[in-house]
C-alpha cells in the first residue's frame, strides 16, 4: 500500500486518490530567469520519481508543472536589457526543459506558462473581491487573511499576535495593507508600464502565489489529489495558494501535500542568492554524466537533506557504470534453457523489496539497496556459471521495471538476446528460400548494425558477436 507523508496532516497516510485509478497532481515549476541549479533539480527529479512511481502503481496521471515566467527579478532583468519579459524568459524556459530532459525526467502532461493564464488569475481575484477574501488598497489587490481562519493549516505557523511586521517571514512591502500578513494578489502598474494587464479592478500584474492557484485549478479542477514542491514553498507560497483557492471555491484544494528537502553544499542550502550553486551545465562541462547526477540526487530519500560533494558525485559515476555493465554483460550471455531457483529467488525478493521501499513514502535509498542486492547476488550466480536463459530474461525484466521508476540505467546499447538473433536468422533463411534477397540482406545489415556477424557455412548459418 502506497503511503506518503502528508504535510497537511504531518502524518504518513495511505494514498487514495479522489477518482479511483486516476491521479491529478501539481508540482510547482521553476522561475525561468536563469539556469536552474542542481538544488532545483533535486526537487524536479523527486517530482519525476513521484510521477513514475504513481505510473508504476498503475495510476493514470495528469501532472501539471508550471513555468513561472513573470516576477520582479524577471521584470528587472528584462528592463535592464531593454527587451520584453517573453524575450527574456523564452531561452531560459528552453534551457530548463533541455536540462530537465537530459536528467532523464519525463515531461509532465501539461507545462503551462504563468503569463498565458492571466484571465484565469483575474477570475479568481474577482471572486475573492466579491466574497470578501480580498480588498483593494492604493490600486493593488490584497488577500485578506483575517477572512480565512484556516490560514496556517499547512505550515502550522502560528500567526496569533503577528500583526504589522512582527516576523521577518511576513511580506513587509511598502504598500498599505490592513494586516502585515496580507499578501498581494494583483500589483497596480501605471498606464504605460510593461508588463501590465487590464482587469476589472485596474491595470496590473499578478502576484506569484495566484499563478499556481489559477494554473492548478484550470487543469485539475477545484479539488485535486496531490500538490508538491520544495520545502521552502510550504510557506508562504503553498499556504497562500490554499488561502486563495479555498477562499474562492469553498472546497478543499489539494488532498495531499508533499515537500522535498534541500540539496545543501557544505551544509548550507544551495541557492542562487547565496551563490553556492552548480548548474547542471556546470557539472556536465566538468565531464560528469547526467545519469550520475540523477543517481546522486535521488539516492537520499526526499525528506532528508542531501549534502552535495564531488566525492559523492564520483561515487555515483562508478555506481552507474557498474549497473550499466551488469545489464550489458547479462544481456550478452548465450545461455542454456531453464532457470536456477537461486536466481529466481533473488529477482523475486528484489522486486518485492523495491516496491515495499517505494510504497514506504518513496524510500529511494532502500529501493536502490534492493537493486544493488540483486546485482550482487546475480553476479555471484553468474560467476559460478549458474545462470540460465529464463533467469536472464527475468533479471532483464526486473531491471526494466526498476528503471521505469529510477531512470538510472540509461539507454540500452541496443542489445539483442540470443533467441531474438536466432529468430531473425530463421527469418533470413526463409527469405532466402523464397528468393527474397532484399529482405535477407536487410536482416543481415540489421544484425551487423548490432554487432552480430553471420557466417554462411555448409552446415547452416553460424553467428557471433563482434
3 phi and psi angles, rounded to 5 deg: -130, 145
Give, as ranges, the residues between 14 and 43 that touch ligand AMP (CB under 6 A).
28, 30-31, 39-40, 42-43
Asked if 262 interacts with ligand AMP (CB under 6 A), we say yes
Which ranges of 384-436 does DSSP label H, i.e. alpha helix? 389-406, 418-433
Q: Which of 212, 306, 343, 398 binds Zn ion (CB under 5 A)?
A: 212
Nearest distance from C-beta of residue 270 to ligand AMP, angstroms: 4
Q: How far is the C-alpha of 382 from the C-alpha of 393, rounded, in Å?
A: 14
Sole residue written with cell 549458474: 386
Nearest distance from C-beta of residue 354 to Zn ion, angstroms: 31
**Cβ atoms of 331 and 415 closer than 8 Å:** yes
Nearest distance from C-beta of residue 43 to Zn ion, angstroms: 11
**Of 289, 300, 319, residue with least CA distance to 367:** 300
271 touches, from Zn ion, ligand AMP, none (C-beta below 5 to 8 Å by class): ligand AMP
Sole residue written with cell 528587472: 76
Asked if 28 interacts with Zn ion (CB under 5 A), we say yes
Q: How far is the C-alpha of 393 from the C-alpha of 391, rounded, in Å?
A: 5
Give, as ranges, the residues between 404 and 463 that touch Zn ion (CB under 5 A).
none
Nearest distance from C-beta of residue 112 to ligand AMP, angstroms: 15
Asked if 103 interacts with ligand AMP (CB under 6 A), we say no
Sole residue written with cell 521495471: 401
Site string for ligand AMP, 185-224 (x = CB under 6 A): ----------------------------------------
What SS3 class is residue 66? coil
**Cβ atoms of 286 and 328 closer than 8 Å:** no
C-beta of 192 vs 267, nearer to ligand AMP: 267
Nearest distance from C-beta of residue 42 to Zn ion, angstroms: 17
Asked if 106 interacts with ligand AMP (CB under 6 A), we say no
Asked if 367 interacts with ligand AMP (CB under 6 A), we say no
407: left (phi over 0), alpha (psi -120 to 50) or beta: left
Considering CB under 6 A, how many residues would be counted as binding ligand AMP? 16
Angle, helices 310-332/290-298, rounded to nearest 10 degrees:
110
Q: 397: how many CB neighbours lie within 10 A of its CB?
A: 11
Give, as ranges, the residues between 41 and 70 that touch ligand AMP (CB under 6 A).
42-43
Q: Which of 13, 106, 232, 373 binds ligand AMP (CB under 6 A)?
A: 232
Q: How far is CA 154 from the centre of its chain?
A: 22
212 touches, from ligand AMP, Zn ion, none (C-beta below 5 to 8 Å by class): Zn ion
Nearest distance from C-beta of residue 95 to ligand AMP, angstroms: 12
C-beta of 258 vs 398, nearer to Zn ion: 258
C-beta of 112 vs 152, nearer to Zn ion: 112
Helix (H) or strand (E) holding 141: strand 140-143
Integer angstrom CA distances of residue 191 from 75, 78, 168, 197, 263: 16, 19, 33, 10, 42
457 phi and psi angles, rounded to 5 deg: -120, 170
- The size of the chain, in residues, is 466
Which residue ranges make up the site for Zn ion (CB under 5 A)?
28, 212
Which residue ranges make up the site for ligand AMP (CB under 6 A)?
28, 30-31, 39-40, 42-43, 229-230, 232-233, 262-263, 269-271
Amino acid at each position: 500500500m502506497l503511503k506518503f507523508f502528508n504535510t497537511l496532516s504531518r502524518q504518513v497516510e495511505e494514498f487514495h486518490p479522489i477518482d479511483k485509478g486516476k491521479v491529478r497532481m501539481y508540482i510547482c515549476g521553476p522561475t525561468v530567469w536563469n539556469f536552474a541549479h542542481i538544488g532545483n533539480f533535486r526537487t524536479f527529479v523527486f517530482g519525476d520519481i513521484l510521477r513514475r512511481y504513481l505510473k508504476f502503481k498503475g495510476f493514470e496521471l495528469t501532472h501539471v508543472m508550471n513555468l513561472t515566467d513573470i516576477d520582479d527579478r524577471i521584470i528587472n532583468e528584462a528592463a535592464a536589457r531593454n527587451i520584453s519579459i517573453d524575450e527574456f524568459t523564452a531561452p531560459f524556459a528552453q534551457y530548463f526543459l533541455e536540462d530537465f530532459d537530459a536528467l532523464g525526467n519525463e515531461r509532465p502532461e501539461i507545462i503551462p506558462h504563468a503569463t498565458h493564464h492571466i484571465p484565469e488569475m483575474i477570475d479568481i481575484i474577482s471572486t475573492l473581491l466579491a466574497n470578501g477574501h480580498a480588498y483593494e488598497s492604493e490600486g493593488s489587490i490584497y488577500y485578506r487573511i483575517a477572512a480565512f481562519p484556516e490560514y496556517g493549516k499547512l505550515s502550522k505557523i502560528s500567526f496569533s499576535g503577528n500583526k504589522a511586521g512582527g516576523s521577518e517571514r511576513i511580506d513587509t512591502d511598502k504598500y498599505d495593507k490592513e494586516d502585515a500578513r496580507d499578501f498581494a494578489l494583483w500589483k497596480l502598474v501605471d498606464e504605460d508600464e510593461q508588463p501590465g494587464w487590464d482587469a476589472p479592478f485596474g491595470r496590473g500584474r499578478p502576484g506569484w502565489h495566484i499563478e499556481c492557484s489559477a494554473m492548478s485549478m484550470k487543469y485539475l479542477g477545484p479539488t485535486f489529489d496531490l500538490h508538491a514542491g520544495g520545502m521552502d514553498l510550504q510557506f508562504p507560497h503553498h499556504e497562500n495558494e490554499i488561502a486563495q483557492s479555498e477562499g474562492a471555491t469553498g472546497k478543499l484544494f489539494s488532498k495531499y501535500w508533499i515537500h522535498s528537502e534541500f540539496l545543501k553544499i557544505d551544509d548550507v542550502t544551495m541557492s542562487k542568492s547565496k551563490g553556492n550553486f552548480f548548474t547542471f551545465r556546470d557539472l556536465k562541462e566538468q565531464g560528469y554524466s547526467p545519469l550520475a547526477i540523477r543517481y546522486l540526487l535521488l539516492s537520499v530519500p526526499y525528506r532528508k537533506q542531501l549534502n552535495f560533494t564531488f566525492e559523492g558525485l564520483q561515487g555515483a559515476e562508478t555506481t552507474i557504470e557498474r549497473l550499466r555493465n551488469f545489464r550489458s554483460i547479462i544481456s550478452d550471455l548465450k545461455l542454456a534453457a531453464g532457470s536456477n531457483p537461486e536466481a529466481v529467488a533473488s529477482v523475486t525478493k528484489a522486486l518485492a523489496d523495491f516496491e515495499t521501499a517505494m510504497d514506504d513514502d518513496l524510500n529511494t535509498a532502500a529501493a536502490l539497496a534492493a537493486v544493488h542486492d540483486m546485482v550482487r547476488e546475480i553476479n555471484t550466480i553468474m560467476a559460478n556459471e549458474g545462470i540460465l536463459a529464463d533467469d536472464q530474461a527475468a533479471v532483464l525484466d526486473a531491471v526494466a521495471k526498476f528503471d521505469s521508476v529510477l531512470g538510472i540505467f540509461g539507454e540500452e546499447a541496443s542489445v539483442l538476446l540470443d533467441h531474438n538473433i536466432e529468430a531473425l536468422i530463421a527469418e533470413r533463411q526463409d527469405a532466402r528460400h523464397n528468393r527474397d534477397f532484399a529482405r535477407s540482406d536487410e536482416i543481415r545489415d540489421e544484425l551487423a548494425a548490432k554487432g552480430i556477424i553471420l557466417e554462411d557455412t555448409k552446415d547452416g548459418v553460424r553467428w557471433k558477436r563482434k
